[in-house]
Chains A and B, each alone.
Chain A
């Protein structure tokens, strides 16, 4: 499954030993810079640098990364096509009057707008993938605790994270059992099977909740959830690298704000 794949990579990649705060700062910083950028170039530069980091430093296979990246790219392309057609402008290259008062057009401004949006999506997605592929969820919990997110919320997040995989396992088992008995063979059948799958998953999660309470009781639960061992100190070199990356990106954002393509 996909979420397991992402988690697996996050657990054992070249950057898994780097302090999670640094990775989160790099990723979130990159997203913020992409949002602030007024030109199309800075997000592309950020995306390029982060892609290199993911492929070279974190040693994620190119095939896997490309496969992951194609998913948002398709969505972005479809969205951008809409933006280009709907946004109006002065220099009209092509126009189609569909209804009175509503026209589809391709203009200089709309193309620039489209490219700008597309590049920002690319930049933001690579920052998000950088976090997802290098920082395991379990590390993010400890960062959340450090930035004073309430205990209750973190405890809930941890239990939810743990149970996702148990439920996912059960759903997959039920799904396979249905397929083996020709569950999704026709359209009608698919609807019935899916409804049954949902029902069974609901009952399974209900039981899992009961069991969880019992297990916690049996293990002397008194309202406390264990913390991870003290994580490694923030190392100097990765820290400098992150600062350099963010400073460089900021410079690019400020220097190339006015460049446009067409």
Chain B
């Protein structure tokens, strides 16, 4: 278990107009955790979030950051806000400067970076969120999703340890939401602690490490998502609904098809595993397909494209902002753009091969996820590194092979 980074001890807060928004909350968040704060409107989620970077000071109780009580003098607040980045729900409220470059540079400039450092951080932040070359554009010409990315880049440029998102997907279309959630995953993978508030149960359920259900300024339940969302009573009280997968699993359980102690499914892949265990006696053992992982960072375009030309119809998934951009710029049609690893495992279980385009830092994650699934389910799915530069050693088999 990693150490605690944020902690609240019995905090209370009343708005000047008299409404008590937070009524005695205690919890802690560990480094590198993904936390979803879920609850109906007016539950006090946003109020609680704004306490994380000291925008609101609790009336009573203590907020701790990195095991030290938060101080509310100007210089401590500056340091706190550098380390806890806050992305507002409405990016128009967050973007200050007249061009994308200037806006992302806002934080670093005020932190006193030198000009070259500012330029470097801004370039890196913009590349991270997939907005390279947008520097001179004014924000009002961007789409909702792009504005959101600018807001995120502006926070990333300060290199915070914790990222707090108030309703990160509000106002975005489903695919834009998935993109943002994947970006959050990427950031988490790089070691950032991520806290989001949301109403969207289906989105939070597979994503979060831990879910905190809030109602009327109190914590209703706090646990791993399978448990937190699995209690129909508290879910109903929090004005939410059960995630479809969980509801389906519970119905199967009630009918005695799956054992009570079975792990609850988080993803479609988990659900398939449940069903296949259920049907084990009928299942025909078959050879699994191969998952090929391709590093999209070096110059690979031509070889991959020609290889894909030969293997027409092979499902291709892109993971991460960079990989998606490269696929788009080289005209590779993508079959999967989110939940890529799970979807490729599903393909492999059907005996089909697939290719994942991603960046080098994410390759171990693919391997880990597939290994974890294989140990759990007993299937054996080969993961191979696709490298068009070494045709002898690593040339992947054709889908039929």
Contacts and interface: CB of A to CB of B under 8 A. Distances in A.
Given A165-B140, A219-B110, A219-B158, A226 B101 contact: yes
Contact of A220 (B81, B94, B135, B138): B81
Interface residues of A, number: 34
B198 interface: no
Interface string B85-128: 01010001111111101110111111110010011000000000
B286 interface: no
B78 A220 contact: yes
A166 B92 contact: yes
B102 A227 contact: yes
Given A11-B141, A138-B136, A226-B105, A219 B95 contact: no
A228 B101 CA distance: 7
A222 B113 CA distance: 12
A158 B138 contact: no
A158 B98 contact: yes
B354 interface: no
Contacts of B154: 219
B101 A229 contact: yes
Question: What DSSP secondary structure best describes chain A's contact surface?
Answer: helix
Interface string A1-43: 0001001100100000000000000000000000000000000
B141 A224 contact: no
A215 B96 contact: yes
A149 interface: no
B71 to A, nearest CB: 15
Interface residues of B, number: 39
A228 B112 CA distance: 16
B99 A228 contact: yes
A225 interface: yes
Given A211-B93, A226-B97, A218 B135 contact: no
A215 B94 contact: yes
Interface string B367-398: 00000000000000000000000000000000
Residue from B88, B112, B137, B140 with most neighbouring chain A CB atoms (10 Å): B140
Nearest to B99: A138
B39 interface: no
Interface in A109-159: 136-138, 141, 158-159
A141 B55 CA distance: 31
A144 to B, nearest CB: 12
Interface in A203-262: 208, 211-212, 214-229
Contact of A162 (B55, B112, B136, B139): B139
A219 B106 contact: yes
Given A166-B140, A208-B93, 10 more contacts: A7-B138, A8-B141, A11-B137, A212-B93, A215-B94, A219-B106, A219-B155, A225-B97, A226-B102, A229-B119
